[in-house]
Chain A
């Protein structure tokens, strides 16, 4: 799956990766990879700006810690982020139901 396919959905997917609890950037990327069954073809360095964007929007909160002498930034969902994730899920389920119904139907019978 290419990055373009994710356009418009990356934020929701990242929020979902953080739903179970705080994660640092690489753990989010790993969760993203597992969630997409390794199909996601995205330069992993570009996930970090997306996390920063979500943080600026108040959907996640970042916190620094020091692990093995290295600075590490972890993120967790805020209440606003949890609401945004629920909205994203609802919208996606409605959208996918419509597309499934349209694409899953059999071809119309030829009246001739």
Chain B
């Protein structure tokens, strides 16, 4: 049985905002709602209107998906923990006189840019109103955060700085953040 144009329009609007599998599931639900109204005796147009009204407008439904998405919760945790981890590294850098470390200027600039990019991506993922953009940003941010943490941990291990307690504290926090990010990554990637 074909679906009325009103329901097709509603689904098309949802498809512009949400991923295909989610829209498939919503289409089934909206269709069942429509059929239930038909069984209650409403004509085609009234059943379609009732189903759409009952379902909620696409913006409301999409916003609820964004609020519930693992991308949103993961990015907010990373955004909130960022200053703590970053602050601990800053203390470690000062204590270890990081300006004396044998790191090329280009590497330092690249590292700073990566941190900045991660922050921007997390901001979009944590507060963005578009599901796809927020999900893609969260996935990219997770990968950048992992790369930043792995680079830092790899570098301080390689140059043997782990005997300093501020560095050990920063490394421990960085490791914890990496473990959290890795644990959330499959869900975040699946939500894109």
A binds B: yes
CA–CA, A94 to B65, complex, Å? Answer: 32
Pairwise interchain contact B187-A45, C-beta atoms closer than 8 A: no
Binary contact readout B38-73 vs A (1 if CB under 8 angstroms, 0 otherwise): 000000000000000011110011001101111000
CA–CA, A50 to B26, complex, Å? Answer: 13
Known: A45-B64, A49-B64, A50-B68. A73 touches B28 (CB 8 A): yes
CB of A29 closer than 8 Å to a CB of B: yes
Q: Report which of A25, A53, A67 forms a contact with B29, defined as CB distance below 8 A.
A: A25
Which A residues are in CB contact (< 8 Å) with B55?
Answer: 43-45
Known: A25-B29, A70-B27, A70-B31. A43 touches B67 (CB 8 A): no
Which B residues are in CB contact (< 8 Å) with A53?
Answer: 68
CB of B25 closer than 8 Å to a CB of A: yes
Which B residues are in CB contact (< 8 Å) with A46?
Answer: 56, 60-61, 64
CB of A56 closer than 8 Å to a CB of B: yes
Pairwise interchain contact B60-A48, C-beta atoms closer than 8 A: no
| Residues of chain B whose beta carbon lies under 8 Å from any beta carbon of chain A | 21-22, 24-33, 36, 54-57, 60-61, 64-65, 67-70, 187
